[in-house]
Amino acid sequence: MKVLVLATEVAGRGGVQYAGRLFAQALASRGAALTVVSVLDRDADAERLGLPGLRLLGAGGDRRKAAFLAAKTALSERFDRVLVMHLNLAPVTLVPGFFRGAPLRAAWPRRASGGARALGVIHSLEAWTPLSPVRRAGVTRVGSAGRWVSVSDHSRRTAIAHNPWLAKLDYGVLHLGLLPTEDKAEVGRSEAFAGHASVGDPAQVATPLPDHPFLLVIGRMSRSEGYKGHEELVRAWPEVRRSRPDLSLAIIGQGDDRDRLVGLARDLGILAHSPRDIGVHFLGGVDEHTKQWALSTAAAFALPARGEGFGLVYLEAMRAGRAVLAGVDDSAKEIVLDRQTGRTIDPRRPDEVVRGVLEVTDPAHATWGEAGRLRFEAAFSFEAFAHRLEVAFSR
pLDDT tens digit sequence for 169-182: 999 999 999 998 75
Bridge partner residues of 83 (DSSP): 5, 119
Does residue 13 surpass a pLDDT of 50?
A: yes
Does residue 202 surpass a pLDDT of 70?
A: no
Neighbours of 346 (CB within 10 A): 16
CA distance 267 to 61: 42
CA distance 104 to 35: 17
Query: Nearest Cα to 116, choosing from 139, 88, 84?
Result: 84
Contacts of 362 (CB under 8 A, 6+ apart): none
In this structure, of 21-25, 44-48, 153-157, the range with the lowest mean pLDDT score is 44-48
- Percentage of the chain modeled with pLDDT above 70: 89
How many helices and strands, by DSSP H and E, does the chain display?
13, 13
Please report, for residues 84, 231, 316, 393, the alpha-carbon distance to residue 118 in angstroms, rounded to integers and kept in the order given: 8, 41, 29, 8
Does residue 7 surpass a pLDDT of 90?
A: yes
Does residue 289 surpass a pLDDT of 60?
A: yes
Q: Which pLDDT value is given to residue 247?
A: 98
Q: Which pLDDT value is given to residue 332?
A: 94
Q: Which pLDDT value is given to residue 48?
A: 84
Helices (H), the chain: 15-29, 46-49, 63-76, 133-145, 153-162, 184-194, 230-243, 258-267, 288-297, 312-319, 350-360, 367-375, 382-394
Does residue 304 surpass a pLDDT of 70?
A: yes
What is the arithmetic mean of pLDDT over 139-168? 96
Q: Which pLDDT value is given to residue 196?
A: 31
Q: Which pLDDT value is given to residue 91?
A: 97
Q: Which pLDDT value is given to residue 177?
A: 97
Model confidence band, residue 393 (pLDDT cutoffs 50, 70, 90): confident
Give me the domains of the chain, ranges plus CATH numbers. Answer: 2-174 (3.40.50.2000), 197-380 (3.40.50.2000)
Q: Which pLDDT value is given to residue 256?
A: 94
Model confidence band, residue 184 (pLDDT cutoffs 50, 70, 90): low
Q: Which pLDDT value is given to residue 254?
A: 93
Model confidence band, residue 102 (pLDDT cutoffs 50, 70, 90): very low
Q: Which pLDDT value is given to residue 135?
A: 97
What is the arithmetic mean of pLDDT over 325-347? 95
Half-sphere exposure of residue 158: CA atoms within 13 angstroms, side-chain side: 22
- DSSP single-letter state for residue 271: B
Element (H, E) at 302: strand 300-303
Does residue 189 surpass a pLDDT of 70?
A: no
CA distance 212 to 84: 46
- Per-residue pLDDT of 46-86, as tens digits, reads 888 888 889 999 999 999 999 999 999 999 999 999 999 99
Contacts of 217 (CB under 8 A, 6+ apart): 229, 230, 233, 249, 250, 251, 252, 253, 301, 302, 303
Q: Which pLDDT value is given to residue 61?
A: 96
Does residue 99 surpass a pLDDT of 90?
A: no
φ and ψ of 354, to 5 deg:
-60, -50
∠ Cα 212 215 221 (to 5°): 125
Q: Which pLDDT value is given to residue 122?
A: 97
3-state secondary structure of 327: strand
Alpha carbon 237 to chain centroid, angstroms:
27
- Strand 342-345 relative to strand 324-327: parallel, antiparallel, unpaired? parallel
Neighbours of 104 (CB within 10 A): 18
Does residue 183 surpass a pLDDT of 90?
A: no
How much is the mean pLDDT over the chain? 89
- Per-residue pLDDT of 203-244, as tens digits, reads 555 578 999 999 999 999 998 877 889 999 999 999 999 999
CA distance 162 to 225: 19
